[in-house]
Amino acid sequence: MDLAKLSGCYPAGVICEIMKDDGTMARVPDLLVFAKEFGLKIITIADLIRYRLKRERLVIREATASLPTRHGLFYIHAYKHKITGEEQVALTMGEWDENEPVLVRVHSECLTGDVFKSLRCDCRGQLESAMEAIASAGKGVLVYIMGHEGRGIGIVNKIKAYHLQDKGYDTAEANETLGYPADLREYGIGVQILLDLGVRRMKLLTNNPRKIIALEGYGLEVVERIPLKIPPCEHNQKYLQAKKDKLGHLF
């Protein structure tokens, strides 16, 4: 139906299932071969989502209020996804021109680190450092993306991954052993929030170069990467080493 509407046609569609020779349902790799063999056009649902996130405003700002913190006075903005109902928040401080590079942190939800102060990761340290940097600059944005727990696998699977890490797996191996990519996060909704807040160019607070590629893929410009230097401890040394060696993070 999305494809029909994007084509300017009546929103209707037909779904069918393509079976493999053994009677099981064909998955994307099988369908790519099938499409090539018969000269068919093919996209994935992920392609469709990415396209719509780039070209449509799918988030609505529902509310704004002041939020005094120990780092200074921020404003908190509550957003809702028009289709899924998913809720997100962003913090802002100060004002900026549309073409001005703005200090930005796009922070993935981490219940264990951000709330319970877990030492297994450096998430809380990054969150607080980002808020301090924004407060010091007097302006900036922190987008807190919910649904990114465990780099996108959810809190239950994250705890399962912790259990595997207790047995010697690193953070990437644990996710992959559970059947997930090492990093499943998607940043389109964060981009939409940034656009709504008037951000077009960013000085991005991150150690993750993949995040730069992801955000620029949606049309934002990252003019500078500002590292977040969080001292390691005995509990997260292996975690940080895996992020550096396997996920390309810069420390």
Catalytic residue among 124, 185, 196, 245: 185
Residues 6+ apart with CB under 8 A from 237: none
Catalytic residue among 170, 183, 196, 200: 183
Q: Catalytic site residue 183? A: yes
CA dist., res. 180 & res. 172, Å (int)? 9
Q: Catalytic site residue 114? A: no
**What secondary structure letter does DSSP report for 19?**
B
Return the structure tokens found at 18. Answer: 């393509």
Residues 6+ apart with CB under 8 A from 148: 108, 109, 110, 185
CA dist., res. 53 & res. 70, Å (int)? 34
Q: Are 204 and 210 in contact (CB under 8 A)?
A: no
Active-site amino acid positions:
183, 185
